[in-house]
Structure 1
């Protein structure tokens, strides 16, 4: 699939302590074979508008230690929260096209704004037509929050795009007798992307943002942006110890595991997995934050012109040029019919993952 016009995909690859030689990985995943074992050896694709999705990547690495991941942080176009939904959709589908072209076996949308904007389209574009499971982060958080609340009063904090889409309210609707209070916290992402997770300025803005949730008496708060778990300290301090903070990262990793088992996509190789982390924007800033937030296993950075240098275009044998053209035509036709407030509505409700 061709990258969206005017975009640069991607700029860097970070290899972890468990990484194998990337050239060997590319050779082992040759498109010449489509056996289950070789399909299973391909990486899990994860993307976010920046570094927030690293919280999801961390949980996937921890819960599925034999799986390889290919992570894209669209830092050149993020954060997605302030953007019009049509622009979020274009950026997100552009990144997912790149990941599919690179041969991933499963897509994880580690971004609430993107999940709200494109989930239904993504499952039509990649799952229904090509058999690639698409996992997102909204339903896992809802599932965990419903189980955690004692009073039925739940708060949701997220970007302006996520809160405005009402994707969380739509998903919570399947669970009766809940009172949902949603608050947009747009500046939180800017703090995280700048590497600021503490300090008086952040505390002041957190107190302002979270005041409506305290007034509503919520006992559970959904961190409706994958950047927000990196601010757990200040959010917990403001809300108090009696309030449960729900991050979707761990539950999303469980959904990824279920999808791999359901579709027989588990990696069975005995060699250590490799993990690649890619940024479309500032490589240095991404590296600094990735090492800080993901952990010391991120050891080195190598510059490449395109991710396909490591995972050759066309390595996912199920995708053909004809399929790609059909998907692009359908996407263009759908875009011309007018924007939707939320692309998430109807994709699924509270319950098990839609695979």
Structure 2
């Protein structure tokens, strides 16, 4: 047994969808979360920029005695997970892409899979690569969705929100025309709008939550390494951000449906 915390980070608040999944699946695990809210979004930056920012994010998390780190961000996973692993070889670092791709490959019936994600994730080609590796003959249809994160962080998440509905239609129209039967939510913000996406795509289309699937991968690795927390221990969760902690707490409430203000702190990420 290992009661050390799991570190989870994202370019903003989207990674809290993975925190929510972890709290539900393993309430005895302690969590340290960092969201780089002062520098979000990462999705429209170059690979070099994303790597430099992410290195600082991991450097901050490393001040805690962690047993593993989850990159709860598709953009970071797609662009620099290998660099982060190379620089931190003494601790496991798990991303969100491989587990989501595997889940989508298992779920599809017609081998037509859609991916909605940030510009940087789509341009990396990582989902297409991973899906083709695990499912020969698959057809992958990817869609850049630059408007989603700003809408979500502004609170436009209701399935009947008049600002959200036309954007969902804009981004998902092509996937629907291609008759995909699985859509990967390739950004950890997107579970907050999955109802709107499902309403447009139809109930027969399976939505894959990349953050939730990655939590399953983390727990499997902890189990294999005998590093799961003691079952009777109550996990502690702490939250850090690089921007305004009040705004962070407000948006975090949308993801977690609880007040995290007493457990949240603002830090200067540039120091790391």
Which residue pairs with 2:109 in the alignment? 150
Matches within 5 A, 1:1-355: 40-126=2-88, 129-130=89-90, 132-174=91-133, 175-198=135-158, 199-268=161-230, 270-296=232-258, 298=260, 300-301=262-263, 303=265
Gaps of 5+ in 1: 1-36, 308-355
After superposition, the Cα gap between the structure-2 partners of 1:158 and 1:139, relative to the gap in structure 1 and judged at 3 Å, is same
Kept after mapping to 1: 8 A contact 2:245/2:264: no
Cα distance change, pair 173–102 in 1 and its aligned pair in 2 (3 A): same
Judge conservation of contact 2:11–2:35 (CA < 8 Å) in 1: yes
The superposition leaves residues 249-271 of structure 1 with CA deviations (integer Å, 9 ceiling, x where unpaired) of 33211111121123332222744
Give 4+ residue runs of structure 1 displaced > 3 Å after superposition: 301-307
Structure number with the bigger relative contact order (C-alpha 8 A, sep ≥ 6) is: 1
RMSD of aligned residue pairs (Cα, Å): 1.7
> Using the alignment, how far apart are the partners of 2:231 and 2:62 within structure 1?
21
Structure number, greater radius of gyration = 1
TM-fit CA distance, 1:90: 0.8
Cα pair 1:52 1:225 within 8 Å, conserved: yes
CA contact (8 A) 1:49 1:79 kept: yes
Distance 1:188 1:305 in 2: 26
C-alpha distance after superposition, 1:264-314 (max 9, x if no partner)? 32222744221001111121111011122112263625646679xxxxxxx
Relative to the length of structure 1, the TM-score reads 0.72
Normalising by structure 2, we get a TM-score of: 0.93
Residue 157 of structure 2 contacts residue 192 of structure 2 at CA under 8 Å; is this kept in 1?
yes
Aligned pairs, how many?
266
Q: Is the 8 A contact 1:41 1:269 kept in 2?
A: no
Q: Tell me how far apart the structure 2 counterparts of residues 305 and 222 of structure 1 sit (CA, whole Å).
A: 32
**Aligned-partner SS, 1:284:** helix
The structure-2 alpha-carbon separation of the partners of 1:124 and 1:301, relative to structure 1 and needing over 3 Å to count, comes to closer
- Which consecutive unaligned segments of at least 5 residues does structure 2 have? none
Deviation readout 1:194-242 (Å, 9 max, x if unpaired): 1211311211111111111011111110000000111111111111112
For the residues of structure 2 that align with 1:200 and 1:235, how far apart are their CA atoms? Answer: 14
The answer (yes or no) to whether the contact 1:49–1:73 under 8 Å persists in 2 is yes
